[in-house]
Amino acid sequence: FSTSASHDLVVIGGGPGGYVAAIRAAQLGLKVACVEKRGSLGGTCLNVGCIPSKALLHASHLYHEAQHDFSKYGVKVSGVELDLSTMMKQKGTAVTGLTRGIEMLFKKNKVDYYKGSGRIESATSVAVAPTVENGSASNASEVVLNTKNILIATGSIPTELPFLKFDEKTVVSSTGALSLDKVPKKLAVVGGGVIGLELGSVWARLGAEVTVIEAAARCAPFLDEEIGDQFVKIMKKQGLNIATNTKVLGADRTAAGIKLKLDSKDLGDSLEADVVLVSVGRKPFTGGLGLEKAGVELDRQGRVVVDSHFRTKVPSIWAIGDVIAGPMLAHKAEEDGIAAAENMAGKAGHVNYDTVPNVIYTFPEVAWVGKSEQQLKAEGVKYRVGKFPFVANSRARTNDQPDGLVKVVVDAETDKLLGMHIIGSLAGEQIAEGVLALEYGAASEDIARTCHAHPTLSEAIKEACMNSAANGLSAI
Ligand code: FAD
């Protein structure tokens, strides 16, 4: 960091928003630098989010299947044991393989990678305070990068509760919950959203007694209600203790762990656990960026305010991903990043937020895109519903994975697909068909008349669309 450099774009943050934007901008001919402080690229997603959580979900599912399900397929195993440190090592290998892959992509696309903490000095300059591998400050002196554009892609961090401060051992955020060194006997999960249910599932499969505490009347209230009800039923059947309408009022540390004070009909007034995962949401991260001085506006939730081109009030400063409004999802951040880079390069970058898919990677998975029934009701839209249960799908039966269904909601007059909701073993893969159909403005009959291979889980989508049709296509 001894010399200053001149760039067309300096990206602050190397997560899925930032690194994808950096590469796209470089491909479009811009001279790009990316500043990342954590010591490795990939942001929350690759280091402490999507990737390690999916590695543990996969591994814990295999362990659970070997213990409980193999025998029903005539596969006899005995002495199945958990080797948690090897499981964690495999997770680490997946993470480092991917984060190093991004470094290679940066080299290939000639993106300058600065390991350091970025601070906006002016509308056209970023100061970089170098950091070392683990993200802590190094002794090297700061460098200032002069640039035509700055992209804020600093992402988000977990929200803490005032009486449950993270120590990442007894009171953990998702980051700590991805690296526990032993299986807790009792794990309390505060917050029944996507992260709480995914990580609660991991530790329940590995043997923890898991209680999910949710203040609202429903877990994952963003789900289509019918899908949400089925999903919670399945999670309970798998052994997750789920208490809704339950508030955590305080917490006392004990010798064994922690005692939560509760306001709850189901759980009484306290719950003891050796580990508490607090998964009550995430907040945009803008600390130390110098946004006020730069004149960049934040909204009430602390998100950077941008226009539809991802530009802030300061014309040379842009923002994308978790740090702006919209769903906090890696693929949304990537789409933002590509569109912002294209706009900077004088092209017409655009993101269709109506077709952003969502997935909960439990088993079975839950995936959805577009509108739920309750949203359509609230909007006064006349709609029809089509459904098909996996218990009637031949591939789901061959795999003995009959839980779940495909549900579609379609415009009652035009038959246009408005939403697709799936619970099923591979719902996260299957939802891509719904996303494509929505993006292309398909009618449910278009899908119903499209040939799907047999026997596949995707036939359930065709069947749900046949079931929604007012034209007698459906067999059930
Ligand atoms: P981030 O990924 O948060 O990256 C921002 C980066 O900026 C960070 O690396 C940070 O170190 C860096 N940074 C911040 N400030 C500075 C600074 N001043 N200087 C330099 N660098 C800085 N999403 C999905 O789509 N699918 C999933 O399955 C999924 N699973 C998840 C599981 C968990 C446990 C968690 C926590 C999240 C999950 N997410 C998932 C959400 C996903 O990780 C985020 O939506 C995504 O990472 C946001 O990307 P981003 O680029 O906006 O920000």
- Tell me what ipTM this predicted complex has: 0.99
Amino acid at 83: D
The counts of H helices and E strands in the chain are 14, 21
Residues with Cβ within 6 A of ligand 1?
Answer: 12-18, 35-38, 43-45, 49-50, 53, 117-118, 153-156, 174, 195, 285, 288-289, 321-323, 328-331, 333, 361
Query: CA–CA separation, 393 vs 450, rounded Å?
Result: 17
Return the DSSP state at 322: G
Strands 258-263 and 270-273: antiparallel
- pTM passes above 0.90: yes
At residue 471, the pLDDT reads: 52
| H-state helical runs in 28-134 | 43-48, 50-68, 84-108
At residue 469, the pLDDT reads: 76
At residue 2, the pLDDT reads: 42
454 an active-site residue?
A: yes
Report residue 51: phi and psi, to 5°: -75, -55
At residue 140, the pLDDT reads: 85
d(CA 43, ligand 1 centre) in Å: 5
pLDDT, tens digit only, all 476 positions of the chain: 444 558 999 999 999 999 999 999 999 999 999 999 999 999 999 999 999 999 999 999 999 999 999 999 999 999 999 999 999 999 999 999 999 999 999 999 999 999 999 999 999 999 999 987 777 888 889 999 999 999 999 999 999 999 999 999 999 999 999 999 999 999 999 999 999 999 999 999 999 999 999 999 999 999 999 999 999 999 999 999 999 999 999 999 998 899 999 999 999 999 999 999 999 999 999 999 999 999 999 999 999 999 999 999 999 999 999 999 999 999 999 999 999 999 999 999 999 999 999 999 999 999 999 999 999 999 999 999 999 999 999 999 999 999 999 999 999 999 999 999 999 999 999 999 999 999 999 999 999 999 999 999 999 999 999 999 765 566 55
d(CA 107, ligand 1 centre) in Å: 22
Residue among 156, 110, 161 at smallest CA distance from 304: 156
CB 312 within 8 A of CB 305: yes
Going 237 to 240 to 241 to 243, the CA torsion angle's sign is negative
Strands 32-36 and 317-319: unpaired
Query: CA–CA separation, 253 vs 74, rounded Å?
Result: 47
At residue 476, the pLDDT reads: 54
Report residue 403: phi and psi, to 5°: -70, 140
Query: CA–CA separation, 456 vs 253, rounded Å?
Result: 51
* CA distances to 27, 161, 397 from 331, in Å: 19, 28, 32
Pocket test for ligand 1, best of 34, 38, 45 (most atoms within 8 A of CB): 45
Strands 282-284 and 358-360: unpaired
User: For tokens 């919950």, what's the residue?
Assistant: 177
CB 386 within 8 A of CB 368: no
List beta partners, residue 147.
Answer: 7
CB 424 within 8 A of CB 365: yes
- What distance lies between CA 301 and its chain's CA centroid? 19
